[in-house]
Copies of this chain bind each other. A is one copy, B any other.
């Protein structure tokens, strides 16, 4: 950690920084320049927090040398992590397409969607049973009834299932019914939920909060990893932007950035990011071209009658067209869609 003192900081302030470093068991290296004194803390930086120094009088800025996350870091684990999910996987060279409706509304609606998306090449099923809705007056999901449909239909069509967990008290319930636990964007920093999920042996899909930096997303992954659950798949789904032309602003550069610093798989959700049906396919293709390990797309047999997020859900036909566009892109970047053979 590098501590830069304010111009003309008196010796007593410099000494205070040195003592703080030494108290924490590290060595201080002092470099007095013409204007500024710079102090390096030599040793195990994981014992330090920038705020330990920023709070001291006379300190101008504090610069960490190491990343604040460890288990999520590529420094810790150099190879790409590949997470088995049923007979499919997330991470590595093959691509996972997850599809399904925003909300599970009925057994028929979910089965129709599941059959259609499997037919078109999806290898995992998504469907919300507990829905985090901005308005208390909006449809909140079918609850356990929805989970039962998820599990039943997932079994029928032979695809692993993904569903969101919105309440730490539902954890045992959701774990029982679903194959992958989704932590939604709004719960990315619900640290208690992350900690509890860390105790399960279950893949997790962790979505980035619209106000979260990539580093904060990785710190949230670290909460899960540090409790022992190493099956974390990250998901970019758009950050808050100033242009209302799209619902959120999809940050595709997060894909190569994350792949540079972390070994965890990263997929992209173009449906929530754009909020508009017409933009889903172009952004799905772009995500794969940027190197994502997969995509998660919302599909509904009748988007115009959907109980939530209708405008962004694809019809089964549009999903099929998108999948046809996706295959050559995957090949162009030296990847292939999982389950590709089954669907031709």
Contact between B239 and A249, CB atoms less than 8 A apart: yes
In the assembled complex, the Cα of A283 lies from the Cα of B20 at a distance in Å of: 30
Known: A167-B192, A252-B252. A226 touches B291 (CB 8 A): no
Contact between B66 and A35, CB atoms less than 8 A apart: yes
- A325: chain B residues at CB < 8 Å are 332-333
In the assembled complex, the Cα of A3 lies from the Cα of B61 at a distance in Å of: 15
- The contact string, 1 if C-beta is below 8 Å from chain B, for chain A 160-171, is 000000111100
Known: A75-B7, A242-B211. A283 touches B290 (CB 8 A): yes
Partner of A256, one of B20, B282, B310: B282
Tell me, rounded to whole Å, the shortest Cβ–Cβ distance linking A141 to chain B: 11
120-166 of chain A: CB within 8 A of chain B: 132-138, 140, 166
Interface centre among A169, A214, A282 (most CB of B within 10 A): A282
- A240: chain B residues at CB < 8 Å are 211, 240, 242
- A2: chain B residues at CB < 8 Å are 2, 38, 63
Residue of B nearest to A327 (CB): B332
- A135: chain B residues at CB < 8 Å are 49, 68-69, 219, 222
Contact between B213 and A245, CB atoms less than 8 A apart: yes
Contact between B278 and A65, CB atoms less than 8 A apart: no
182-207 of chain A: CB within 8 A of chain B: 186-187, 189-192, 195
Does A216 lie at the interface of the complex (its beta carbon under 8 Å from any beta carbon of B)?
yes
Copies of this chain, count: 4
Does A231 lie at the interface of the complex (its beta carbon under 8 Å from any beta carbon of B)?
no
Contact between B308 and A51, CB atoms less than 8 A apart: yes
Partner of A168, one of B7, B169, B277: B169
Does A243 lie at the interface of the complex (its beta carbon under 8 Å from any beta carbon of B)?
yes
- A257: chain B residues at CB < 8 Å are 245-246, 279
3-35 of chain A: CB within 8 A of chain B: 4, 7, 16, 20, 29, 31, 33-35
- The contact string, 1 if C-beta is below 8 Å from chain B, for chain A 281-325, is 011011111110000000000011010111101000000000001
41-63 of chain A: CB within 8 A of chain B: 42, 44, 46, 49, 51-52, 54-57, 63
Partner of A331, one of B254, B285, B332: B332
Contact between B260 and A249, CB atoms less than 8 A apart: no
Known: A65-B38, A138-B49, A192-B167. A242 touches B241 (CB 8 A): yes
Does A84 lie at the interface of the complex (its beta carbon under 8 Å from any beta carbon of B)?
no
Contact between A55 and B169, CB atoms less than 8 A apart: no
Contact between B239 and A242, CB atoms less than 8 A apart: yes
- A311: chain B residues at CB < 8 Å are 51, 54-55
- Other than the given A36-B66, A69-B135, 20 more pairs (CB < 8 A) read A2-B38, A35-B75, A38-B65, A55-B304, A57-B304, A134-B216, A136-B223, A213-B242, A239-B241, A239-B242, A249-B251, A250-B251, A250-B252, A250-B253, A253-B274, A253-B283, A256-B279, A256-B283, A285-B332, A328-B331
